[in-house]
Amino acid sequence: MEFGGAEVGVRVRKLVNDIRACNRCLSECVARYLSVINNLNLEKPYIEVGAYEKFLPERVKHLFIAEPFSFRWRSSFYDESVDDYLRHLLLNEYLVDFKLRNVNDFKEKGMFLTNVAKCRLYMPDIDERERRNIVRCMAYMCREFLFRELEIIAERGLEGIVVFGNLALESLRTRYKNLPRTSLRIGIYEIEIAGKKVKTLVMPHPASHQFKKYYIEMYVILRDFLMKGRLPESIVD
């Protein structure tokens, strides 16, 4: 079965070009919370590494949606030249059953990971309160990019979505009101993308305290959703 096709490829290129050209987060988020924005530049990790062109599978079985990029480290999931904590956790711990050595293996399994904010402001010394405000604003500003991305990926045979963390969940809830308000309400929900109903697992971010505290339970929940499309029987019961 053929998924996507030439039209979807055109839409991917348009999405990439629009993300590359966008600077709204600098003018509408950074300027709102920082008094000095001279010499600040928005980095676009997925655009810089060519994530959509190199790592978006022709057939996407599972999409992972993560929170915005860190302001403190210049790392991203698909840039293997730099250590990335989320990549380490997924490939070496939580998805160990899939025997993933690198992001190419991740692609070969029909998996793709995206972030709700498409830009990053590299400021290691930023005040935590300012960082939180800017990150939440950036995620909100980028939501239309995220929804376009969802529609493109849904046409590639999407079977399931995994939402990691509250900020990722907040972005999705601006359109999908049936999703819970907190990622602590772990469960499988259903959202409709371009006329297609897609199972969506909501859970805490893998680097969060909640995820690590219940490591085994989270590991089993994620594994069973990806392999069986459901929660473990022990959780359901």
Region 189-194 average pLDDT: 96
Region 180-198 average pLDDT: 96
At 123, the amino acid letter reads M
Q: What angle do CA 34, 71, 90 make, to 5 degrees?
A: 155
Q: Minimal CA–CA distance to 202: which of 162, 146, 166?
A: 162
pLDDT at 237 over 60: no
**Could you tell me the two tokens for 73?**
């480290």
Identify the pLDDT of residue 236.
52
> If you classify domain 6-236 with CATH, what class do you get?
alpha beta
**Could you tell me the two tokens for 54?**
């190199």
Identify the pLDDT of residue 233.
78
- The confidence band for 1, taking pLDDT boundaries of 50, 70 and 90, is very low
Q: What is the pLDDT of residues 150-166, one digit of tens each?
A: 999 999 999 999 999 99
pLDDT at 208 over 70: yes
Task: Name the residue with higher pLDDT: 199 or 122.
Answer: 199
Region 182-208 average pLDDT: 96
CA distances from 92 to 86, 87, 100, 168 (A): 10, 8, 8, 23
Region 96-120 average pLDDT: 97
Report percent pLDDT > 90 for the chain: 78
Task: Report the mean per-residue pLDDT for the chain.
Answer: 92
pLDDT at 141 over 50: yes
Region 142-147 average pLDDT: 97
Identify the pLDDT of residue 41.
83
Q: Where along the chain do its domains lie?
A: 6-236
Identify the pLDDT of residue 178.
97
Identify the pLDDT of residue 34.
87
Identify the pLDDT of residue 46.
96
Identify whether the C-beta of residue 162 lies closer than 8 Å to the C-beta of residue 222: yes
Report percent pLDDT > 70 for the chain: 95
Identify the pLDDT of residue 2.
44
pLDDT at 116 over 90: yes
pLDDT at 37 over 80: no
Q: Minimal CA–CA distance to 120: which of 79, 50, 82, 71?
A: 71
Give the separation between CA 142 and CA 80, rounded to whole angstroms: 24
Phi, psi dihedral angles at 187 (to 5 degrees): 175, 175
